[in-house]
Amino acid sequence: MSVCVVWCAAALMLRVLAADAKELTITTIQDEPYAMTKGSQMEGYCIDLISELSKQLGFTYRVQMVKDHRYGAMDANGNWNGMIGEIIRGEADLAVAPLTVTAVREHVVDMTTPFIHTGLSFIMRKSSSSGSSAFSLLSPFSSDMWAGVLVAFLLTALCLFLVGRISPTEWAEPEKDEHSFTLLHSLWYITGALALQGAGPHPKALSGRVVGAIWWLFAVLLLACYFANFHSVLHSEHKHISSFEDLANQDVVDYGTIQSGSSMLFFKNSNNPVYRRLYQHMERKKSYVSSTSEGFRRAQEGNFAFIGEAVSLDLAVARYCTLTRAQEIISMRSYSIAAPLGSPLVKNLTIAILKLSEAGELTHLRDKWWASSCVGTDDHHESEALQSHDLRGLFLLLGLGLAVGLLLALLELLSRARSQAKAGKKSCCSVLTSELNRRFGSRGEVEEPEGSEARTNTGRKRVKSFKISQ
């Protein structure tokens, strides 16, 4: 009897050694960062994990991608697809991938101790602000944009003031006429344009009308951009979602998970009313995605929340700085290696995974492949606020309009100076200089010579009248 037991044990050992000696076929799925193709080579977390396990257990292997690009689910006919199906059909010896351990999978394959623990969460595009504030009216524009608007406002007021002084049509006789476009009125006039209300008097000269028209165009386009972005900012503030209950209680943001995946099955089989509502919404809207990459893409586009394993979502947040993950994690689960039922490899693989975990190798692999590319970026940056470079064309248009207005005002004054110089047979430059002095000099200084001359003439008349009386 003892001889028979020893013989059976030896036969079993030989079978295990034979299994270990052959080249193992390992199936995986292309999913960043678990398995990725780089030229003719493959890399990723699972590829490094396979390499470490092979060093400990001494087996050789070849890696193949799953043919139907699925993890593994049972169809209506009771047949399994994906990596689980390849294990069941004997097309692969192991499935090393982010395979979630589920009860239904444990019925058809053996799974090792988990190498990653995770749970369900969701990601979505970051809001432009963390919530409403007293300064939400300023949120559509960034700080440098507001600074640019202020500079444009002051420059336009100054330009309108200069045009009003230079243009003869606006101010024909500086000694007699009052100057309508003072600096204060110029500021009031362009403020009325920003409020889409006129503030008279309006410019009469072509140069003044050009400046006024270009500022009105700038104001209308600027207000259009402001209100359009303000609506977007308010919309993002009202969709502040931080939990699955928040997600279920709104209809603005769409959401979905991978079709026929373990996440979908969790919501389908859950008795929790919140999770049931989430599943019914996804069924009604057919908002499922075919892969995690598609879920990441739709989340980046906005107005979509992708539900998946938190560990995969953490990768998306590390790669795409516009995404954020909800803090809530439900349905704790884990990833394991799958093998055929009764496979002698499962025990050895479990021990090897535990050794890697105790040695800190699994943590090292996690840090290696989940390294964030968003280090050094400002998490609170208002990405949706319009920047000054977004509307640089509008500012360039305003600057060009102001330059044209000033040039036209100078040409108007030059034309008048040439006419006066020709009539008075004087130099055009001297007449132009005199005109500029009259318009920008002190009126008191201009009128003072006339006043002194009048007083002198009056004095002379008094002297003459005094002599006659004598």
Q: Report which of 30, 88, 85 is spatially closest to residue 63, judged by C-alpha positions.
A: 30
Q: Is there a binding annotation on residue 28?
A: no
Q: Which residues pair with 336 in a beta bridge?
A: 99
Does the annotation flag 156 for ligand binding?
A: no
433 annotated among ligand-binding-site residues? no
For residue 105, say whether it is annotated as part of any ligand binding site: yes
Q: Is 430 annotated as a binding residue?
A: no
Rounded distance between C-alpha atoms, residue 431 and residue 424, angstroms: 10
All residues at 6 or more sequence positions from 149 whose CB lies less than 8 Å from its CB, including other chains: 141, 222
| Cα separation, 394 vs 402, whole angstroms | 13
Is position 130 annotated in a ligand binding site? Answer: no
| Residue list for the binding site | 98, 100, 105, 262-263, 309
| Residue list for the binding site for L-glutamate | 98, 100, 105, 262-263, 309
